[in-house]
Amino acid sequence: MRNGAFSEQPAATPTSRRWRVSPGFTALKCAVTVLLALAAVLLAEDRPALSAALVATVVAGAYALRDLLAPVRLEADPDGVTVVAGYAGRRRLAWSQIERVRVDSRTRAGLRSEFVEIDAGDMLYLLSNYDLNARPADVADELVRIRTAGGSG
């Protein structure tokens, strides 16, 4: 086949996939944490402002740290999925444990939000486009393809 020519064979369906938070968004959270810490230093003389800056620094830092500790929020393969659970833990779910995968859409205050909802009976996992760095509808479709490719219909 010549370089640049198209193949007649269809592209293989991936049998495993990982979705992670955006590295750029994680970097932004880290930068905000540093800026808030600097603001706290500059506001050291003003106790109420210092307190507010320190609380904001801790909150922003906690979100940034979670992204650094658990950047992969969802993994899928023919045997099941691994989802982030709690702050930075992980839980492995076999396809047989998953009752339903769907996209949950809601509109509040004029803003639309979408989540991939993974229903595992006793637990419900909601992952947003910020968690996945992808559209939830695309992720749900990919999960169905991976599950089907693995023979777990």
Map out the domains of the chain with their CATH numbers.
18-69 (no CATH), 73-153 (2.30.29)
* pLDDT at residue 152, rounded to an integer: 62
Question: CA–CA separation, 22 vs 132, rounded Å?
Answer: 8
* pLDDT at residue 37, rounded to an integer: 96
* pLDDT at residue 1, rounded to an integer: 46
* pLDDT at residue 14, rounded to an integer: 63
Backbone angles phi, psi at 109, to 5 degrees: 50, 35
* pLDDT at residue 153, rounded to an integer: 61
Mean pLDDT per block of 10 residues along the chain (153 residues) reads 47 78 96 96 91 96 96 96 94 96 92 94 94 96 91 63
DSSP letter at 22 equals: -
* pLDDT at residue 15, rounded to an integer: 82
66-82 per-residue burial string, b: 16 or more CB within 10 A, e: under 16: bbeebbebbbbbebbbb
